[in-house]
Amino acid sequence: MKTANIKLTAAIVVDGKIAKAGSIIEAPEDHAKGLILRGKAELATVADEAPAEVEADEVDGEDKPKAKAKK
């Protein structure tokens, strides 16, 4: 069975639990197509799936978090 990684654009229930909009989930291809057609999801991109790294950047004597994509 083929699967697809999708990014939710609306909250849905997955295995009895609520998956919020913005979540990346793996779904069977036919379910993914249905969610995309109904506007509940879009195909996830590599950028969507890469978690952001947070590192401190010293600016004006204060530590401020700065998002940095993983390579």
pLDDT tens digits, residue range 50-69? 765 545 444 455 554 454 54
- In this prediction, residue 71 has a pLDDT band, given cuts at 50, 70 and 90, of very low
Q: What are the beta bridge partners of residue 68?
A: 53
**Does 48 have pLDDT greater than 50?**
yes
User: How is residue 67 written in tokens?
Assistant: 């998002």
Give the distance, in angstroms, between the CA of residue 29 and the centroid of all CA atoms in the same chain.
Answer: 17
Three-class DSSP category at 41: strand
Residues found in the chain: 71
For residue 62, the model assigns a pLDDT of 53
Report DSSP state, residue 61. T
